[in-house]
Amino acid sequence: MDNELLLKMTDIQKSFNHVRAVRNGQLEIYKGEIHGLIGENGAGKSTLMKILLGVHQKDSGTILFRGKEIAYKSPEEALNNGITMIHQEINLVPQMSVMENIWLGQEYLFKRAGILNRGKMRKRTAELMNRLGIEINPDSVVSSLSIAQMQLIELVRALSRDATLIIMDEPTSSLAQKEIALLVKIVRMLSAEGVSIIFISHKLDEILNVCDSVTTMKNGEFMGRNATCDINEQTLLKLIVGRENVSGFHREGIHATDQVVLEVRDFCSAGVFEDVNFCVHAGEILGVAGLVGAGRTEIMRAVFGADKHDSGEILLEGQELKIRNPMDAIQKGICMLQEDRLRLGTVYSMSVLQNASLATLDQFCSATVVNKKKERSAFHEIMEDILLKFHSENESIKNLSGGNQQKVLLGRWLMAHPKVLILDEPTRGIDIGAKYEIYRLIEKLAERGIAIIMISSELPEVLSLSDRVMVVRNGRIAAKLNRGEVMQETVMAHAFGINKEE
């Protein structure tokens, strides 16, 4: 690694109205360095990065980039000066194709006499994707992709710019292991080429494994900069949370009863999934594992009534159910947390409280008039469980950090007291401190007799929490494993379709 200082941010401050998002931001990045940035939800990581990119303007402090003081007024300036960013939330134009999204803002590369050369654009896209080992059709429309695929497109787009500094704000939160491995490979490759990378993540092992050094933030303040070779998970955890011993999580034994709550029989949707049969018991946590695009989300969306299915039946407590839309499902006590929180979860124009109570509003109504007191107390009860810190329940959810938005959405469904709770990537973007709390919460819910289906791309999460694990591959159920037989290797083998036993 060169010891050439590329970026130095000192004493950065930034407030939004009365919220002090960044109080004392410090960051040093060297050329070719992979630098981790960690901290709790709402610590100010994204804000600091957005200041660097020119999305937000700092209130005070200095930024030195390549030896010059900078204060970009818009992302355009930053992009033109070699800084790009993969944002925490997907930032694609859903109606446009993959290729058009990748080159958005850089069309001039393919201009000849004012005309866009789409052939050349497609060729460059294919080259780029090939080099990175990503297989997505450049011509497919973004809105038809899964969120993981969108995340990969964001990655491609960031790399298309030949930047000297790439900011990645939780690039792995919606990727499964295979894609993460790919991403890590790419990041290392870039670093070797002299590109510096700022890598934001809540996964400590990932930080320690990928990064050369790491900066920690807490409550908008700089907590320290360390080389990753000098620290371990425990010290890192202490830096983040401020306490020494944050217990990990481990679930003991099987708690499930043998009372079947939800049973899905012969579920089939042409071209998406087929022959799906499974059941969940009261008090059981059913983990669903698989690769990106395996169809986990699609199956569960169909169960929830958000998508149509062609054939098959759903039984709730032995009774056959007709679920035509999410309304039916929710009324019957089946709830689902969506994985795409920006597009399918949050209503940005509404407050934190309103977002949380949206699905359960009827509970707080008498003759359709909302009893705000009841609504608020139910909300606070849940939010204490989830450890969400926010300034005011009446604040727009848009102003929360990504992880805190996720907590609100999780809270939304906990407020519903469902019989069956489907969680699609429940801990996406949630900091480690809160993550264990949420595991405990899920466990508690299961103990109350709720049947829980948890889709997760984080295998450790699936392994430690689930009573049983169902592996999905290519729209089919590849395996159902009991707690005893669940091992990382077996799950992966089923997910990839390599069956060792045979």
Partner 1 sequence: MASHTNKKLQPEAAKHLREILVNNKVFAVALLLIVIMSFLSERFLTTTNVFNILRQICITGIVASGFSLIIAAGEIDLSVGSIVAFVGIVTSYLMVTVKMPMVIAILAGLLVGMLCGMLNAVIISALDLPPFIVTLATQSLFRGVVYIWTNMVSIIGLPQEFVNIGQGYLGVIPIPVIIMVATFLIVWFATVKTSFGRHVIAMGGNKEAAYLCGVRISRVRLGIYGMVGLCCAVAAIVLTGRTASAQVSAGNGMEMDCITAVVIGGTPFTGGKVNIVGTFIGAFIVGIINNGLNLLAVDSNFQIIAKGLMILIALIIDRLSTNFLNKKRRKE
Ligand X SMILES: Nc1ncnc2c1ncn2[C@@H]1O[C@H](COP(=O)(O)OP(=O)(O)OP(=O)(O)O)[C@@H](O)[C@H]1O
Interface with partner 1 (CB under 8 A):
15, 17-18, 53, 55, 59, 74-76, 79-80, 85, 87, 91-96, 100, 104-108, 111, 114-116, 157, 270-271, 304, 306, 325-327, 329-331, 336, 338, 343-350, 354, 358-359, 361-362, 365, 368-370, 412
Q: Which residue has the tokens 């402090």?
A: 61
CA distances from 149 to 143, 177, 278 (A): 10, 14, 27
Query: What is the distance between the alpha carbons of residues 212 and 205, in angstroms, rounded to a whole number?
Result: 13
Least distance from Mg ion to the Cβ atom of residue 376, Å: 26
Query: By the 8 A CB rule, do 389 and 433 touch?
Result: no
Q: Which of Mg ion, ligand X, partner 1, none has residue 18 at its interface (CB below 5 to 8 Å by kind)?
A: partner 1
- Between 174 and 360, name the residue whose CB sits nearer to ligand X: 174
Least distance from Mg ion to the Cβ atom of residue 89, Å: 9
- Between 45 and 435, name the residue whose CB sits nearer to partner 1: 45
Query: What is the distance between the alpha carbons of residues 445 and 386, in angstroms, rounded to a whole number?
Result: 13
Q: Which of Mg ion, ligand X, partner 1, none has residue 426 at its interface (CB below 5 to 8 Å by kind)?
A: none
Binding region for Mg ion (CB under 5 A): 46, 88, 297, 339, 401-402
- Between 363 and 464, name the residue whose CB sits nearer to partner 1: 363
Query: What is the distance between the alpha carbons of residues 445 and 441, in angstroms, rounded to a whole number?
Result: 6
CA distances from 98 to 142, 154, 247 (A): 6, 10, 43
Binding region for ligand X (CB under 6 A): 16, 19, 21, 39, 41-47, 88, 144-149, 176, 290, 292-298, 339, 399-404, 429, 431, 457
- Between 165 and 176, name the residue whose CB sits nearer to ligand X: 176
Q: Which of ligand X, partner 1, Mg ion, none has residue 42 at its interface (CB below 5 to 8 Å by kind)?
A: ligand X
Q: Which of ligand X, partner 1, Mg ion, none has residue 399 at its interface (CB below 5 to 8 Å by kind)?
A: ligand X
H-only helix segments in 347-458: 352-357, 372-386, 402-414, 432-447
Q: Which of Mg ion, ligand X, partner 1, none has residue 116 at its interface (CB below 5 to 8 Å by kind)?
A: partner 1
Q: How many CA atoms lie within 13 A of 100 on its CB side?
A: 12
Least distance from ligand X to the Cβ atom of residue 57, Å: 12
**DSSP label at residue 144:** G
Query: What is the distance between the alpha carbons of residues 66 and 265, in angstroms, rounded to a whole number?
Result: 61
> Closest by alpha carbon to 40, among 326, 377, 443, 406?
406
Least distance from partner 1 to the Cβ atom of residue 360, Å: 9
Least distance from partner 1 to the Cβ atom of residue 312, Å: 17
- Between 31 and 341, name the residue whose CB sits nearer to ligand X: 341
The radius of gyration of the chain from alpha carbons, rounded to an integer in Å, stands at: 23
- Between 144 and 247, name the residue whose CB sits nearer to ligand X: 144
For 283-317, give the secondary structure using H, E and C: CCEEEEEECCCCCHHHHHHHHHCCCCCCEEEEEEC
- Which pair of structure tokens corresponds to residue 94? 């859903």
The residue number whose beta carbon is nearest to ligand X equals 403
Query: By the 8 A CB rule, do 29 and 196 touch?
Result: yes
Q: Which of Mg ion, ligand X, partner 1, none has residue 499 at its interface (CB below 5 to 8 Å by kind)?
A: none
